[in-house]
Amino acid sequence: MTRYFADVAALAQKDLRLELRARDTLPGMLLFVLSTLVVFHFALPADAGDTAAYGLLWVAIVFTALLGLARAWVPEQEAGALDGLVLAPMDRSAIWLGKTLAALAFLGAAELVALPAFTVFFAPLGASAVAGVVLASVGICAVGSLVSAMAAASRGREVLLPLVFLPLAIPIVVGGVGAGISEDPGQFLGFLGLYDLVFAILSWAAFEYVVTE
């Protein structure tokens, strides 16, 4: 087990180091989420209400995550390293978990910009809304890492990734918006936690089959 988590940490650190050197993914995510919120700020009527504002926040978060996930496997593709990772003497699910943690770090960095910007442009975020963002981010990255690995092996990966990922992200958006606006956010936070658990287990179990195929 210690070896497994050491492999996961090494793979996640590899992605983080590559991003720090190349700066290919994170700057685009930061610019996209910030510009999206700025546009929504000027386009949304003043009397639109919190529901519309939270909905737009989640549109920004999901599409920012999609932007990062589209490039998640680009280093392995360009270097032809995926076959080497698959053949390495380690559990293949460690590849998925390392990629998920790296994607979560990138999305978390984008959200550190998005949430304060949302507070400035729209309304303060409560503790339940922030907790919803955290739980939803885990689900987005867990599912997105698996789907992006599937899309990376296909010719039409730019089309396949959003077609598969966005329907799976709809429950996350519902849970995230509900956690922010509901008078009883606990049920939405519980739903997001259950979503994370179920889809993380499914993604972890299915990844070996995906990379083998």
pLDDT at 131 over 90: yes
Exposure string of 93-127, with b = 16+ CB inside 10 Å and e = fewer, is bbbbbbbbbbbbbbbebbbebbbebbeebbeebee
Place of tokens 């949304």: 44
Q: What pLDDT, on the 0 to 100 scale, is given for residue 50?
A: 66
pLDDT at site 107: 94
Q: What is the pLDDT of residue 166?
A: 92
Sign of CA dihedral 121, 122, 125, 128: negative
**Percentage with pLDDT > 70 across the chain:** 90
Q: pLDDT: is 110 or 74 the higher one?
A: 110
Tokens of 179: 């956690």
Residue-wise pLDDT tens digits, 9-56: 988 998 888 888 878 788 889 999 999 999 888 887 766 666 778 888
Q: Is 90's pLDDT higher than 80?
A: no
What pTM was estimated for this model as a whole?
A: 0.89
